[in-house]
Amino acid sequence: MRATVVIPTLNARQLLSEALEHLARQSVEHDVIVVDNGSTDGTAEHLEQAFPAVRVLRLPENIGFGRAVNRGLEAVETDVVVLVNNDVLCPPDFLERLLAPFADPSVASVAGVLLQFDQPGLVDSAGIELDTTLRSWDALWHRPVDGLDRAPEPVGPCGGAAAYRTAVLRSVGGFDETFFAYWEDVDLALRLRLEGHRCVRAPAARALHKHGQTLGAASPMQRRLEAFGRAYVLARYRVARRSLRTRLAIAALDWPVLVVHLVVRREAGPIRERWRGTRTGLRRPALRAPLELATVSFREALGRQANLLRLRATGSLPTHFDQSSSGVS
């Protein structure tokens, strides 16, 4: 089964070159489409010289992650489309192992495994999992790779290492272009599951993730995009309308972080984007909140959030965490 790898990128010529060099050594034949999100560092010209087999779609401006992927999807001619971030280094067997589950016709999408570049014994993401408020988490984040075989199947793949049947992805309209970046892969996973499509993990499809090389430290823009995406998903899937208990759980998980942004960082942007995301989501046709897909309890979600705060307070948080190299920043 042949696949097309789609990579959005923005002003990351050297980083992208390293990713493409690794893809060129794959054990299976494949096509590559790079969607250049308005780069000004000579990315397109460099690719024409150094990687003539790679198809480059040049966009006049940065239109975000999901929209860029959708433009690439329009040019895909293979049965499977694979998404890889421009900061992911794939070993030679990565694509072969990622595509293997498609031998089962019931599989619509496959989640690859991203390992932390500086600590390859730890998982960066093994797909998307949800808690009982429809908040997403990177499955097995910062846990040893030997836990992969015992982990439940993900709700969907994260956008940094994902494979989809092309026809299925097109049938649901690809990524929702309301998102600029963040949460678009969660929304796509939810819509696919609501349509009855199955996602599995390919635990042996492992790649190294140089997470955060494009953007650097977490930025105000990242925090605004995160706030918008979370609010939009909550509103579109009408999660808070499930029960008072659900509304209280959302408040307990989300609003302490927003208050920290406002009081400590003096940033009102995330709160404004929270309201904008809510209004935007409520204007869209309602989708059923598939809370039955949750594998993370509210108590565990609180514990994970407390652990993140502890790691951040002690300076032990991995330097890549909460940063982006998705080709939009």
Type of residue numbered 34: V
Q: Is it the case that residue 166 has pLDDT exceeding 90?
A: yes
Q: State the Cα–Cα distance between residues 277 and 268, nearest whole angstrom.
A: 14
pLDDT single digits (tens) 249-259: 999 999 998 99
Q: What is the pLDDT of residue 31?
A: 98
Helix (H, G, I), strand (E, B) or coil at 191: helix
The Cα angle at residue 223 between residues 278 and 289, in degrees rounded to 5: 35
Phi, psi of 33 (to 5 degrees): -120, 120
Give the helix/strand (H/E) hosting 288: none
So where are the chain's domains? 3-209, 220-313
pLDDT single digits (tens) 66-125: 999 999 999 999 999 999 999 999 999 999 999 999 999 999 999 999 999 999 999 999
Give the helix/strand (H/E) hosting 113: strand 107-116
Residue 240 near residue 254, CB atoms below 8 Å = no
Q: What is the pLDDT of residue 322?
A: 43
pLDDT single digits (tens) 265-284: 899 999 999 999 999 999 99
Tokens of 199: 């996602």
Cα separations (Å) of 17 from 12, 86, 89, 121? 8, 8, 10, 25
Q: What is the pLDDT of residue 120?
A: 96
Tokens of 155: 């709700």
Q: Of 84, 70, 74, 77, nearest to 2 (Cα)?
A: 77
What confidence category does residue 260 fall into, taking pLDDT thresholds of 50, 70 and 90?
Answer: confident
Q: Is it the case that residue 214 has pLDDT exceeding 70?
A: no
Sign, Cα dihedral of 183, 278, 197, 64: negative
Beta pairing, strands 88-89 & 198-209: antiparallel
Cα separations (Å) of 170 from 21, 74, 79, 241? 29, 9, 11, 30
Q: What is the pLDDT of residue 320?
A: 47
Place of tokens 């401006």: 61
The Cα angle at residue 304 between residues 266 and 147, in degrees rounded to 5: 140
Type of residue numbered 262: L
Q: What is the pLDDT of residue 327?
A: 63
Beta pairing, strands 136-138 & 128-130: antiparallel
What confidence category does residue 323 fall into, taking pLDDT thresholds of 50, 70 and 90?
Answer: very low
Q: What CATH architecture applies to the domain 3-209?
A: Alpha-Beta Complex (3.90)
